[in-house]
Amino acid sequence: MSLLRYDFVQNALVAGAIIAVVAGLVGRFVVARNLSFAVHGIAEVGFTGAAGAVLIGVEPVLGLMSGALLAALGIGTLGVRLRDRDVAIGSILAFGLGLGVLFLTLYTRYATEAFTILFGTITGVSRAEVFLLMGLGVVTLLALAVISRPLMFASVDPEVAEARGVPVRALSIAFLVILAIAVSEAVQVVGVLLVLTLLITPAASAQKLTARPALASLLSVLIAFGCTMGGILVSLVTPYPASFYVSALSFGSYLLARLIGPRLAASARRGADQAPATALRDGQPGLQVGQSPEKTSL
Amino acid sequence: MIASDAIRIEGSTLRLAGRPIWQDLTLSVPESEFLAVIGPNGAGKTSLLKVLLGLLPAGGVVEVLGLPPRRGNRRIGYVPQQKAIDPDLPVRGRDLVRMGVDGDRWRFGGSPEAGRRVDEMLAAVGAAAFADASIGRLSGGEQQRLRIAQALVGEPRLLLCDEPLLSLDLHHQREIVELIRSWQERSGGTVVFVTHDVNPVLSMTDRVLAVVGGRWAAGRPDEILTSATMSDLYGAPVDVVQVRGRVVVLADTGDPIGGHHELPIEPAHSHTAQSRP
């Protein structure tokens, strides 16, 4: 553990921890809202933004974030209906990547820069970037905390949520903006092409293990955290990149969750079945079911 | 008179994408009555609920519980049409019902009071035994109980149900109907019940609104569920026969008219058989 003395290792671990918490929580809503493809689209347009930033001599992180935000707003505006959304994302993604290719061709000197953005280099994160990530992470989590209750209502039950006055459409765009920031953060660890490994897989694994929303969020964060920390640490003592280890651990956790999840669900169901399925309840007279005599119709 | 109407609609017209859903609709439903809304798929039954919920603007006068429709009216409970739910979605029955208490509130954290109300409501609809399983893994009947608990937990005065019996077997249909009937009896609330088959709720129906291809008819069940009214409405010979207390609507092909049959009716003229209040 003498590695921990090095600044770059400390930076990587702190940045990784922040990113894992953000990705784990944001991922819960990504999965609940079926936004996997949007994550991919936002990340790829983020790549174009970063390539454009390199071209004009600006910090790639800023370009990445601008691209991601633009993509998020584009998806939010064009993909109102679910049916339109995938098509909108595909079109935005394709055009975005086309631009990215152009930018790279115009500025060939930075091929390594492109590789970094595509596949991530957590060990290259500077102390300043750690603070930036931390600030963004706090903002993201605060925003998510404020909207999480109506956002979950709108994600799970959009018809009733809308009827109850939840601003479903505004929340959808607000979440895409939060998602764009989370994607930009996750890109720092695993790169554009692998963001799904932090933004989908931990949440997907967590929901195989529990039906409790709060516990699912906690497990999602823990899995994202474990994979990120594990991946970074292993990459430090081996010649291979952290992105690989993070994605391998993440996929492993998913397989494991799929394996043991059904057993957990089955045992929970067995417990429930021991209680009577339908019985008369007291306390609320008049609201009783199950034993009413058969009604004769007209 | 007006104060005692849960729903008052006068001269209302609704068009969606240029297509007339209904024209000059006039309907009033006194408080604590049960209105069954029938008609083929796509006739605008769901649109009526959306208008009452304030989600769709319609022409004419529309009043719900004495006021124009507005989104987020907590005095309305809404049971939307069933849809498939991801079995892995980590949302339990108690979470779904909880959303009916404070899902729309911009607040983080729990409240013991809300938890207690959810528990009471789960027990009242007989859903306590499966309240901790993922809703996506429950049967249609179990999901509908939870939906009704979610709609009723806010103690509404008006309950809007969109095909709540769809894809349920007879036994579960009866249980859901019984839940709604007992709520209505206890609370004196008003029910608007959209259905393509009126039979499961016929005994408790005070009023029927039939919507077919832009035309409509409203009145007591014995006024509307007749061969004459239904033939007028469909613009084709339709027989309404009673078989052991059940109403069967037959087109001249002999096929029963249900949710899966749609007669191609042009909204050529608007004939209406109105209720007399």
Specify the pLDDT at position A6: 87
Q: Which residue reads 């306390």 in tokens?
A: A283
Can you give the pLDDT at residue A293?
Answer: 36
DSSP designation for B204: G
Which residue type sits at A244? F
Provide the pLDDT confidence category of residue A104 given band limits of 50, 70 and 90: confident
Contact: A272, B129; criterion CB under 8 Å? yes
Tell me the nearest-neighbour CA distance from A70 into chain B, angstroms: 27
Q: Which of A152, A283, A286 sits opposite B185 (nearest CB)?
A: A286
Query: Between 1.10.3470.10, 3.40.220.10, 1.10.8.80, 3.20.20.70, what CATH number should domain A2-192 receive?
Result: 1.10.3470.10
* CATH code that applies to domain B2-75+156-251: 3.40.50.300
> Is this prediction's pTM over 0.90?
no
Interface test with A, best of B95, B152, B243 (most A CBs within 10 A): B95
B123 touches chain A (CB under 8 A): yes
Mention every residue, 6+ apart, whose C-beta is less than 8 A from residue B156: B74, B75, B76, B77, B189
pLDDT digits (tens, 9 = 90+) for A186-218: 998 888 888 999 999 999 999 999 999 999 999
- Residues of chain B found within 8 Å of residue A207, distances taken between Cβ atoms: 88-90
Query: Which pLDDT does position A27 carry in this prediction?
Result: 97
Report percent pLDDT > 90 for chain A. Answer: 55
For A45-84, the pLDDT digits (tens) are 999 998 898 888 888 888 999 999 999 998 888 876 667 7
Domain boundaries, chain B: 2-75+156-251
> Which of A272, A288, A271 is CA-nearest to residue A280?
A288
Euclidean distance between the first and final Cα of chain B, in Å?
A: 10
**Which residues from chain B sit within 8 angstroms of residue A216, using beta carbons?**
90
| Closest chain B CA to residue A279 | B126
Q: Please, which residues 81-110 of chain B have a Cβ atom closer than 8 Å to chain A?
A: 81, 88-92, 95-96, 99-100, 102-108
SS3 B211: strand
Among the partner residues B73, B81, B103, nearest to A153 by beta-carbon distance:
B103
Q: What band does A288 get if pLDDT is binned at 50, 70 and 90?
A: very low
Of B90, B151, B203, the CB nearest to A211: B90
Q: Digits of tens for pLDDT over chain B (277 positions)?
A: 444 799 999 999 998 888 888 889 999 999 999 999 998 888 889 999 999 999 999 999 999 999 999 999 999 999 999 988 999 999 999 999 999 999 998 876 668 888 999 999 999 999 999 999 999 999 999 999 999 999 999 999 999 999 999 889 899 999 999 999 999 999 999 999 999 889 999 999 999 999 988 889 999 999 999 888 988 888 888 888 888 778 888 876 555 554 333 333 333 333 344 433 3
- Spans of all domains in chain A: 2-192
Is the confidence at residue A285, as pLDDT, over 70?
no
CB pairs under 8 A between A and B: 157
What is the H or E stretch that residue B14 is in?
strand B5-16
Model confidence pLDDT, tens digit, residues B200-251: 999 999 999 999 888 899 999 999 998 889 888 888 888 888 887 788 888 7
Residue in A150, A208, A294 closest to B103 by CB:
A150
Of B206, B195, B164, which is closest to residue B34 (Cα–Cα)?
A: B206
Q: How confident is the model at residue A269 (pLDDT cuts 50, 70, 90)?
A: low
